[in-house]
């Protein structure tokens, strides 16, 4: 597996502001994903982060609200824009590794609270 770190680990933000979450992996990965986990709930895929091109968003998620970058094979960012209290969640990145098809490994998550 890989060592995956996320920054920040948690944050408290004001309504209407934006927060950028970073995901860093210690080795090159094939796939990178961003998930949202609302309090006490399951994980919902936001988007697949594509290296050097626009992310692929799932139904219900749009680029204007959740812009994503992936400039290389080990790093990605997710921005939560124009936040509202409904955006309070844990945001998780996950990665797929070369030679390990289908398997995803998750980062520790970023706990976001919007006031």
Partner 1 sequence: QQQVKQSPQSLIVQKGGISIINCAYENTAFDYFPWYQQFPGKGPALLIAIRPDVSEKKEGRFTISFNKSAKQFSLHIMDSQPGDSATYFCAASKIGGGNKLTFGTGTQLKVEL
**One of 22, 51, 105, 113 touching partner 1 (CB under 8 A):** 105
Residues 6+ apart with CB under 8 A from 54: 63
Closest CA to 106 of 39, 52, 25, 47: 25
- Applying CB under 8 A, the site for partner 1 has a residue count of 25
* Interface with partner 1, residue 97, by CB under 8 A: no
Site string for partner 1, 42-71 (x = CB under 8 A): xxxx--x-------x-x-------------
Alpha carbons 22 and 100: distance in angstroms, whole number: 24
Site string for partner 1, 13-32 (x = CB under 8 A): ------------------x-
Footprint on this chain of partner 1 (rule: CB under 8 A): 1, 4, 31, 33, 41-45, 48, 56, 58, 92, 94, 96, 101-109, 111
């Amino acid at each position: 597996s890989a060592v995956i770190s996320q920054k920040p680990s948690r944050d408290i933000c004001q309504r209407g502001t934006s927060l950028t979450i970073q995901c860093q992996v210690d080795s090159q990965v094939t796939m990178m994903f961003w998930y949202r986990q609302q309090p006490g709930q399951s994980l919902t895929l936001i988007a697949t982060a594509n290296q050097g091109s626009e992310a692929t968003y799932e139904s219900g998620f749009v680029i204007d609200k959740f812009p994503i970058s992936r400039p290389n094979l080990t790093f990605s960012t997710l921005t939560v824009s124009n936040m509202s209290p409904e955006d309070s969640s844990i945001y998780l990145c996950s990665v797929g590794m070369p030679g390990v098809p289908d398997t995803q490994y998750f980062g520790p998550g970023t706990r976001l609270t919007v006031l």
